[in-house]
Every structure is written in C-alpha cells, then in structure tokens.
Chains A and B, each alone.
Chain A
Amino acid sequence: MQTKRTTFSNAWLPYALLAPQVIVTLVFFIWPASQALWQSLFRQGDAFGIRPPSFVGLENFAALFRDSHYIDSLQVTLVFSVGTTVLAMSVSLLFAVMVNRMIRSRDTYTTFLVWPYAIAPAIAGVLWWFIFNPSIGILPYVLEGVGYDWNHRSSNTDAMILVILAAAWKQISYNFLFFLAGLQSIPQSLIEAAAIDGASRSKRFWTIILPLLSPVTFFLLVVNIVYAMFDTFGVIHATTEGGPAQATNILVYKVYRDGFVNLNMGSSAAQSVILMAIVIVLTVIQFRYIERRVNY
C-alpha cells in the first residue's frame, strides 16, 4: 500500500497531535487491562488488611476451570450468544429482504426499523421486563390464554428466551441496515438472469442472493457474537440479573457479579482476562477477513 508522507516543521507536533488518542487509550484501556492482568495473578486479601493479597500465579485461572459455576456460565454464554446471533441475523435478513422488495414505502420502513438502535440497552431491557413481567406484563397474559404459564423468574428456559429476545431486538436494526445495503448492491440483472435460467424465488434466494451476501453475513456474524458476549450487560442487568439460579449469568455479567457484588477480585480479574483473550481472537478474525474483503 502506498501511504502519503507529510513532513512537519516542528518535530513535536505529530506527537502532540497523537497525544489525546494515546492518553485515552492508555488511561481507559491499557491501564485497566494491565491492572486486570496483574490482579488475576493474586489472591484477594481480606477487607481489614490483616491478610495481604498474595501472589498465586495462574491459580485463579485453574480454579475457574475447576469451578462448575464457571463452566455453567460458559455454557449459558454459548447458548445465549448463538441464540441472540441467529435470531438477530435471521430476523433482520428477513426484514431486509421484505423491505428491499418495496418500492415506494422502502424509506419509511427503513426509518422505523432503525429506531430500536437509538434506545439505550438498559431502557430496552426495562421495556422487555415490562412486557414479560409475570404479574403485569402483556405477553404472559396472552400466553396464559394459550395455556403457557410464563415465568422467567422461576423457569430457566423462559429467562433465557427473554434475554435472547431483548438482546436480539436491539441488534436487529444494525444488522438490517447492513443486509439492506448488501441486497441493494446485488445487481438486479443477476436476479433476472437467474429467473430466466429457471430458478424459482426461493431457489434464487438460496443460490444467488445468499452467497452474494456472504461477505456482509460474515462481518455481521462476528459483530453479533461480540455484541452478544460483551455488550449485553445492560440488557441482562435490567431484566434477569443473571438469574434464576445463574441461568442467564453470562460471562460478562459474572465478571461484574463476582467482582463487584461478591468482591472476589482475583477471580473476576482472571475472568476478564479470558474475555479479553476472546475479544482479541474475534478481532483478529475480523481484521483478517476485512483484508480480503471479497470471498467469492
């Protein structure tokens, strides 16, 4: 790649220009991250300073993988992220396909479908909390009518469905925009050629449209997984708080619970280091992929 070189007359100017960004990164990212790394190697001292923190090496990590709660949380996270990603992506693709077919009302629908993205996660969580509230919510009432006794406070499944719905709902707008843009960049003549070639509507979708959307789909897949794993704290906090009985206690939420509620800093730090590793892997995958943007 060819880059443009600019020469500054003052040798310090480029550093000064970079400084704000570097400082922000240092203070808000590198420092806490290294703190977490450091802390993850210590066992917590007690609150009265009688027993000082002691160095334990990788013991915190080893303890985590012996802890059945942590393994459960991993599983919960897996179910939750896969559920959220699949739901958010399939629904948004469906919307995008439908809106793309419209001619005059396309912009109106697009506007409406983007609104949820502007709502803060906690508020979205509260909305869902109200809708699904076992005593005052509208949906449990309706479900009761068809003979289903909804209670996300006691049923693990109900709780998981609730958080997946709430989390996916937020992400649909974002996915929708990308899918719609992707659909609109597929030349109409390809679809027409396929129609002449005797492909039915659904065949065209599976053999032409979906493969051509694969770059967008892959990009969204990574974004959605990252979102589900790391950005859904607010949603969980406002709806189930990880319950009932840890059934929706995803990794990110567990970090917070163990660290700030149960005050087990060493374990919490180790958990956040693991999360950091996962983010780094996902980011690397995404960058790798963006480098060779076209994959067909």
Chain B
Amino acid sequence: MASIQMDDLHKVYAGGVKAVTGISLDIADGEMIVLVGPSGCGKSTLLRMVAGLETISGGTLRIGDRVVNNLEPAERDIAMVFQNYALYPHMTVFNNLAYGLKNRKMPKDAIDRRVREAAKMLEIGDYLDRKPRNLSGGQRQRVAMGRALVREPSAFLFDEPLSNLDAKLRVQMRVEIRQLQKRLKTTSLYVTHDQLEALTMADRLVVMNAGRVEQVGTPMEVFDRPATVFVAGFIGSPAMNMIDAAYLRETGSADDLDGLPHGTDLIGVRPDDLLMTPPDGPHLRLAGRVALLEPAGAESHIYVALDDGDQPITVRVQGLPMVEDGARVNLYAALAALHPFDRVSGVRVT
C-alpha cells in the first residue's frame, strides 16, 4: 500500500527521443489510475520509469515516502504485468509464482501458503504443475496476475495486460482485475489504449498525448467535459464531431450561438447529441445529405455531409436508422450539449 507521486518527470532516450516531457501526477493510496493515449505517446515509457526498467532523465518519483529515482526495480516494491505476460517458460506455474518470494528468501512453507492462496483467488489452482506453454491465453493472463499479487507489493503496474486476449475474455478479465484491485486496495497504474477499458476500470483517467498529460479526471469528468480538442477526439466512440463556429454563423443555422462562452471558434458535438428532431430550448440546426448508413447492432451510425461543409459528421441513433441513403436531413443539437473550444490552443473555453 503506497501512494505514488510523480513530479515533473522527463524521459529522453539515448537516441534523443523525448518520450515523456514533464509529467506530474499524484496517485493516492489504493487508487486505480488508467493511462490512455495514442500509440507512441509515452504510456509504456512512463510505466517503465515507475517500475525502474527505464532510467529517469529528470524530475522526482516517490513511492510511499521514498524517493525511488535511483532504486533498482526490486527495491521499489512494485509488481508488473506485461503485455506478453513474460512468464518464465521453463518453470511450472507454481514456480513462476514462487520465484519472487524465493528471491526474497521467504521460508518454504510461507511461500507454499501464499502461492496456493493466490492461485485460489485466481482459480489457477489446478494448473500449478503445468508449464506456461500448456496453458491457454486466458490462463496465462491469470498466472501473470498471480505472479504480481502473490508478492503483495505496494503497487501494481499493468502494461496493456489484456490486449492479447479475444474480445469476450478481455471483458471478463477486465471485470476480474477491477474486482481484485478493489478488494486488495492496491495502488495501480494501468496502461491501455482501449478506451472502453479505460473508462470502465479507472478511478481516475489520465489522457496522454506526445509525452504530456492532456487531462486527468474521473472517467465521467473526462467524457463530459474534455479539457482539450485532443481529449474530445480521443475519448468516446465514434469520435466527437468538430464543427467550425464560423461555418455555423455563415449558414445562420444556430438559434443563438452567443449563448456559448466568448472566444469559442470550434464546436464539438458528440454523435449521440445530434438529434433528428429539434429539442426544446436554444439549439443549433445543421442541414445536409446522408452520405453513408452504418448499422451496428443495437445502434446505427449515420454519416452526413453538411451543405458546403468539408467533412462528414457522424450521428449515432438507437436501432435502425429511419432515413434513406442520400436523403436530405436536418440535425439538431441543444446548446447545452455543445463543447466549446479555442481552435488555436485546442483548449476548452469556459
């Protein structure tokens, strides 16, 4: 059990790549933090810096009340679950779990007890004598989890642990990991680029971009009030539509755009917030032609090319779409549902 404090962390790789550029983050004891961001934004690098697998080029990192910048991974009292599981192929499941305890010179009977406890918790008790290559992907995943929690570390680090599983198993393991984490109350740092994983698992979500933090907040905060255009586009699927405020003013399609904060020149609207019928209260109206219909099970996506607009916007409706391909449509969005941004800085206007 420990908190983790990152203070202005920097990472410059040997080749000069600046992978992390000034990240500060306070993680409370027992909290589950999820790092999301596009490929190459530095999530793994940050996680590996916390683990001690990458050196820290600048800033301070504290785990508990110790500065750990120069400590070996083993001295940091953390456990990590790798994307490829990194199970020791020549050891049985039992020995995979016991390895870290043996290295810490724990007595044999205590090791045995702990391993069996962890195995029971993860329902891998029946496979203790097997080698990893004789396990399924999901079972390997569990063993990897077991190896992390058997040591009872003060923090768990996860680097995309579920990305090698099929969709169904992924959902199941997602739920299990979250339940375990809540039960053990172990501080966790979880890297993913699956935004559903991010939104469902996090106590707080950290959206990263190009080595920096774009926004930190609970999943709902991040979803409801994205702080930047980047976050708005990254969280939520299908992605938020971005419409130039000037376009709206020219086409005169807004009831009252002055209701939006001063300085707004880019307006974001989620595909769910676009309606086929006008809502009560101030709203904006868009006119266009259906470019593509995309039924997707319980919901459908309608791509609409706005009149004189450059890119199609996406509308999400429940069930089957009630419009024809190529038909003219009017779309409406309540002003309250709009996300006002400043185009140049990319920051939300308030």
Interfacial residues, chain A to chain B (CB-CB below 8 A)? 103, 187, 189-190, 192-199, 203, 207-208, 211-212, 214, 294, 296
Docked-complex contact A187 and B103, CB < 8 angstroms: no
A192 & B74 in contact (Cβ 8 Å cutoff): no
Query: Given the known A-B contacts A193-B86, A196-B73, are A296 and B131 also in contact in the complex, defined by CB atoms under 8 Å?
Result: yes
Residues of B within 8 A of A (CB): 14, 51-53, 72-74, 78-80, 82, 84, 86, 88-90, 99-100, 103-104, 131, 133, 147, 151
B73, B133, B147: residue with the most chain A Cβ atoms closer than 10 Å: B73
Contact (Cβ within 8 A) B86 A187: yes
Whether the pair A197, B99 counts as a contact (CB closer than 8 A) is: yes
Of the candidates A103, A195, A211, A214, the one whose C-beta lies within 8 Å of that of B73 is A195
Of B53, B86, B103, the residue contacting A198 (CB under 8 A) is B103
* B80 near A196: Cβ-Cβ < 8 Å: yes
B99 to chain A, nearest CB (A): 5
Contact A189 B103 (CB under 8 A): no
**A194 and B82 within 8 A (CB):** no
**Is B51 a contact of A196 with CB atoms below 8 Å?**
yes
B103-A208 in contact (CB<8A): no
- Given known pairs A192-B73, A195-B72, A197-B100, the reply for A296 and B90 (CB within 8 Å) is yes
Min CB–CB distance A4 → chain B (angstroms): 29
Could you tell me if A197 and B74 are in contact, using CB atoms closer than 8 angstroms?
A: yes
Q: Count the A-B residue pairs with Cβ separation under 8 angstroms: how many?
A: 60
Whole-angstrom distance between the Cβ of B186 and the nearest chain A Cβ: 15
Give every chain A residue within 8 A of B133 (Cβ-Cβ): 294
In Å, the complex CA distance between A192 and B237 comes to 35
Specify the chain B residue showing the minimal Cβ separation from A208: B88
| Central interface residue in A190, A195, A198, A212, by most chain B CB within 10 Å | A198
Residue of A nearest to B83 (CB): A189
Assess the A212–B72 pair: CB atoms within 8 A.
no
Known contacts A195-B74, A199-B74; 13 additional CB pairs below 8 A are A189-B82, A192-B80, A193-B86, A194-B88, A195-B52, A196-B53, A196-B73, A198-B74, A198-B100, A199-B99, A199-B103, A207-B99, A208-B88
Q: Is the CB of B74 within 8 A of A196?
A: yes
Kindly list the 4 A-B residue pairs having the minimum CB-CB distance in the complex, ordered from nearest: A296-B90, A197-B100, A198-B103, A189-B86
Cα-based distance from A52 to B100 in the complex (angstroms): 75
Bound-complex Cα distance A190 to B151 (A): 17
Whether A211 lies near B100 (C-beta < 8 A) is: no
What are 20 A-to-B residue pairs whose CB atoms are below 8 Å?
Answer: A103-B14, A187-B84, A189-B82, A190-B88, A192-B51, A192-B53, A192-B73, A192-B82, A193-B82, A193-B88, A194-B99, A195-B53, A195-B74, A197-B103, A197-B151, A198-B104, A199-B74, A207-B99, A214-B90, A296-B89
Chain A residue nearest to B80 in the complex (CB): A196
Q: Closest CB-CB distance, A42 to chain B, in whole Å?
A: 53
Residue contact B99 to A189, C-beta cutoff 8 Å: no
CB-CB under 8 A from B147, the residues of chain A are 193, 197
- Cβ-defined partner of A193 (8 Å) among B14, B80, B104, B131: B80
B89 in complex: contacting residue of A196, A203, A212, CB < 8 Å: A212
Judge whether A203 and B82 touch: CB under 8 Å.
Answer: no
CB-CB under 8 A from B100, the residues of chain A are 196-198
Are A189 and B84 also in contact (CB < 8 A) when A195-B72, A197-B103, A198-B104 are? yes
Contacts of A211 in B (CB 8 A): 90
User: In the assembled complex, which residues on chain B have CB atoms less than 8 Å from the CB atom of A199?
Assistant: 74, 99, 103
Residue of A whose beta carbon sits closest to that of B95: A207
Q: How far is the CB of B140 from chain A (nearest CB, A)?
A: 13
Q: Distance (Å) between the CB of B151 and the closest chain A CB?
A: 8
The complex places the Cα of A26 from the Cα of B99 at a distance, in Å, of 55
B residues less than 8 Å from A296 (CB atoms): 89-90, 131
| Contact partners of B52 in chain A: CB under 8 A | 195-196
Q: Which residues of A contact B72 (CB under 8 A)?
A: 195
Complex alpha-carbon distance, A193 and B146, angstroms: 13
Residues from chain B with Cβ under 8 Å of A212 in the complex:
89-90
Nearest residue (CB) in B for A294 is: B133
Q: Give every chain A residue within 8 A of B53 (Cβ-Cβ).
A: 192, 195-196
Distance, CA A194 to CA B14, complexed state (A): 24
In the complex the two chains form, what is the Cα distance from A212 to B14 in whole Å? 29
Q: Are A192 and B131 in contact (CB under 8 A)?
A: no
| A190 x B103 contact (CB < 8 A) | no
* Closest A residue, CB atoms, query B132: A296
Q: Looking across the interface, which residue of chain B has its beta carbon closest to that of A207?
A: B99
Chain B residues with CB under 8 Å of A193's CB are 80, 82, 86, 88, 147
Give the docked Cα–Cα distance between A214 and B90 (Å). 10
Closest to B105 in A: A198
Q: Which residues of A sit under 8 angstroms from B51, Cβ to Cβ?
A: 192, 196
Residues of A contacting B86 with CB < 8 Å?
187, 189-190, 192-193
Shortest beta-carbon distance, B83 to chain A, in Å?
8
Closest chain B residue to A104, Cβ basis: B14
Cβ contacts under 8 Å, B90 to chain A: 211-212, 214, 296
List A contacts of B14 (CB < 8 A). Answer: 103
Chain B contacts of A194 at CB under 8 A? 88, 99
**How many angstroms between the C-alpha atoms of A279 and B82 in the bound complex?**
45
CA distance A198 to B73 in the complex (A): 7
Chain A residues whose C-beta falls within 8 Å of the C-beta of B79 in the assembled complex: 196
B114 CB to nearest chain A CB (Å): 14
What is the minimal beta-carbon distance from B74 to any residue of chain A, in angstroms? 4
- Tell me, in angstroms, the Cα distance from A212 to B91 when the chains sit together: 10
Determine how close the nearest CB of chain B comes to the CB of A55; give it in whole angstroms. 55
Chain A residues within 8 Å of B82, by CB: 189, 192-193
* A159 CA / B210 CA spacing, docked (Å): 65
A208 neighbours in B (Cβ, 8 Å): 88
B17 to chain A, nearest CB (A): 15
